Structure 1
Amino acid sequence: MAHRFTVKQIAAQAGVSLATVDRVRHGRAHVHAQTRSRVAAAIRELDEQAEAGIPAGRGLAIEVILNSPERFSRAVRQAFVAAAADRAPLRIAPRFHADERMHVDAIVRRLEAIEPQTTQGIVLKAPDHPAVAAAVEALRGRGIPVVTFATDIRTAGRIAYVGIDNEAAGRTAAFLLSRFLASQSATVLANLGSRDFHGEQDRWHGFADFMAQHCPQHRIVTIDGGYGLDHATYELARAERARHGVIGGIYSMGGGNRGLIRALEDAGDRRYAFVGHDLDAENRRLLRAGRLDAVVDHDLYADAARALRHILHFRRHGQAAEADTSRAVIVTPWNM
């Protein structure tokens, strides 16, 4: 394993012992595959940090745990590395744990394994589940601050929520679709990745309330459970298109946008208004190609910087900084 970092640096970034790193480096037996993977990830993270200009040496280790599609996790990762670099000369070392389908039990095990000796704070994007909430409360009791990111968890155990006002974002998307569709009556497909996420529930409620109040002529059809993954979302959308006929509008709050487009176009639909979320690389391509009409976005770098500020403030003062939510920004093909 050739690299430019010391065993001590790798061990600190991975949150494991020097002996463990040595065993991994020399390919010795009796090392768990997950540990090998964590050490390899630590080296990649150190490379990212060095490239971004994060200073070497001791610092604060922040766990960033993301249950989200890879395209969103990648954008969040870039934002946190940049935000940490801008804290120099203070060294903040993000450790990333991301999975598109991270089961609640796996999230809880990961949270329970975190120790205050090796971690100074946690940024968490996870389902709003009682077991996750209980794990967050236990971490708070051990002095480890948790900031929920992009989607909240209903527990007093987390020190802050950082992200967009999701209900307002849903209303914003409904407002846009109401203008795109005008007075014509249409079937609108609302796509949730999963109702397990508090943020997506809030987006859906904001969207549905606005449409019911201001656009009762439109019929809302909801799909749920694609988890932002293209193939699963395609199958759900294809079934609803077969059941309800022509789709005139889409609000995708949960990703899987390529799957939505393919399902509708396989059924012959070519003209529909489409509002999505998050200006990631995939949605940039869809906007440029004219497949998306608008994206409700927010500044991930600003959110990452705010999450770090909450953790640092908590460690200095025993409480989070004053909370605020991100402002929704509407992006079209003409203002990317």
Structure 2
Amino acid sequence: MAHRFTIKQIAAQAGVSAATVDRVRHGRAHVHEQTQRRVDAAVRELEEQAEAGIPAGLGLTFEVLLNSPERFSQAVRRAFVAAAAAMAPLRIAPRFHADERMSPERIAARLRAFEPRTTHGVVLKAPAHPAVVAAVESLAARGIPVVTFVTDIRAEGRIAYVGIDNAAAGRTAAFLLSRFLGQGGGVVLANLGSRGFHGENDRWQGFADFMASRCPRVEVTVVDGGYGLDQATYELVRAERAKRGPIAGIYSMGGGNRGVLRALDEAGDRDVAFVGHDLDDENRGLLRAGRIDAVVDHDLQADAARAIRHLLYFRRHGRAAESDASRAVIVTPWNI
């Protein structure tokens, strides 16, 4: 197991001791499988950082814990690596922990496992479950700052929220759909990944308020609980379409857009106004193919840089920096 990185560098990135890395590298007995995976991941992260031009040395090492679909987690990962590279000569070293189907209890357990001696902070995208809130408070009590990312957790322990104003994003999506639909009525379907995420709940509330006040001929119906996964979202949309009849418009704030489109295609709904969220690789392809009309996006790399700066500020000053929401951007097939 030869590497261009020293045992000390790998240990720092993995958050384990140098002796543990030595045991893993030499294939010695009594190494837990999870430890092996963490050391292997650390090497991949170091290679990724080296390729991006992030210098070796002292700096900021932090966790990025994401409860989100793989396509979004990968977009966030690229954003943080690029943002870290742009901060050279500081060495900014993110460690990634991503899972599509992580329960709130597992998220809380992972958060509680982080230690001040091995990490300088946490960037977190997770549902606002009581167990997660309690774990964030526990980290704060131990001096580990938490920045919530894309979706907020309203816990006193978190030092900042980084992301768009989600209620404003929902109103923006409603405005776009109202223009796409014109004076016509019909059923508009709002697709949430889960109401457990404050961000999606805020998007939904902004969307619903606008539609109720500006589009009285539109009937809004909701599907909730697909968690941005295509198959689960497909089943929810198919069942709702069977109950409601033809769909005139879609606001997909929770992802799983291929599943949404599959359900509509099977039902014969071809001319549907469609607004999604986040310009990940999947939505980029759907825009180019003409399957989505617009995406409400925000600059993930700029948000990643802001999250890093919050952690750096806390490390230097021991308190939170000023925070404001990032700007939403509308992307169409013509300005990808």
What is the TM-score with the length of structure 1 in the denominator? 0.98
Partner SS state of residue 75, structure 1? helix
Aligned to 2:108: 108
Deviation at 1:33, TM superposition (A): 1.6
Once residues 225 and 32 of structure 1 are traced to their aligned partners in structure 2, the CA distance between those partners, rounded to angstroms, is 34
Aligned to 2:81: 81
Deviation at 1:19, TM superposition (A): 1.7
Question: C-alpha deviations, 1:285-316, integer Å up to 9, x for none?
Answer: 00000000000000001100100111111111
| One-letter amino acid of the counterpart of residue 158, structure 1 | R
| One-letter amino acid of the counterpart of residue 286, structure 1 | L
| 2:119 maps to 1:119 | yes
* Aligned ranges 1:223-262 → 2 under 5 Å: 223-262=223-262
Aligned to 1:14: 14
4+ aligned runs moved over 4 Å, structure 1: none
CA contact (8 A) 2:58 2:90 kept: no
Deviation at 1:60, TM superposition (A): 1.6
Aligned to 1:23: 23
Question: C-alpha deviations, 1:168-215, integer Å up to 9, x for none?
Answer: 000000000000001111111100000110000000000001000000
Once residues 105 and 26 of structure 1 are traced to their aligned partners in structure 2, the CA distance between those partners, rounded to angstroms, is 34
Aligned to 1:146: 146
Aligned to 1:60: 60
Aligned to 2:162: 162
Question: C-alpha deviations, 1:79-114, integer Å up to 9, x for none?
Answer: 111111111111111000000111111111111111
Once residues 58 and 26 of structure 1 are traced to their aligned partners in structure 2, the CA distance between those partners, rounded to angstroms, is 26
Once residues 91 and 309 of structure 2 are traced to their aligned partners in structure 1, the CA distance between those partners, rounded to angstroms, is 13
Question: C-alpha deviations, 1:103-143, integer Å up to 9, x for none?
Answer: 11111111111111110111000100111111111111111
Aligned to 2:184: 184
Deviation at 1:57, TM superposition (A): 2.1
| One-letter amino acid of the counterpart of residue 156, structure 1 | E
Partner SS state of residue 34, structure 1? helix
Once residues 221 and 27 of structure 1 are traced to their aligned partners in structure 2, the CA distance between those partners, rounded to angstroms, is 56
Deviation at 1:156, TM superposition (A): 1.1
* Aligned ranges 1:24-63 → 2 under 5 Å: 24-63=24-63
| One-letter amino acid of the counterpart of residue 230, structure 1 | D
Once residues 269 and 295 of structure 2 are traced to their aligned partners in structure 1, the CA distance between those partners, rounded to angstroms, is 21
* Aligned ranges 1:288-303 → 2 under 5 Å: 288-303=288-303
Q: Which moved more, 1:28-37 or 1:238-247?
A: 28-37
Aligned to 1:315: 315
Deviation at 1:28, TM superposition (A): 2.7
Once residues 218 and 32 of structure 1 are traced to their aligned partners in structure 2, the CA distance between those partners, rounded to angstroms, is 56
Once residues 29 and 98 of structure 2 are traced to their aligned partners in structure 1, the CA distance between those partners, rounded to angstroms, is 26
What is the TM-score with the length of structure 2 in the denominator? 0.98
Aligned to 2:197: 197
- Segments of structure 2 that go 5 or more residues without pairing to the other structure are none
Partner SS state of residue 98, structure 2? strand
| 2:263 maps to 1:263 | yes
- Segments of structure 1 that go 5 or more residues without pairing to the other structure are none
> What RMSD, in angstroms, separates the aligned Cα atoms of the two structures?
0.9
Once residues 169 and 282 of structure 1 are traced to their aligned partners in structure 2, the CA distance between those partners, rounded to angstroms, is 20
Once residues 92 and 153 of structure 2 are traced to their aligned partners in structure 1, the CA distance between those partners, rounded to angstroms, is 25
Once residues 206 and 37 of structure 1 are traced to their aligned partners in structure 2, the CA distance between those partners, rounded to angstroms, is 42
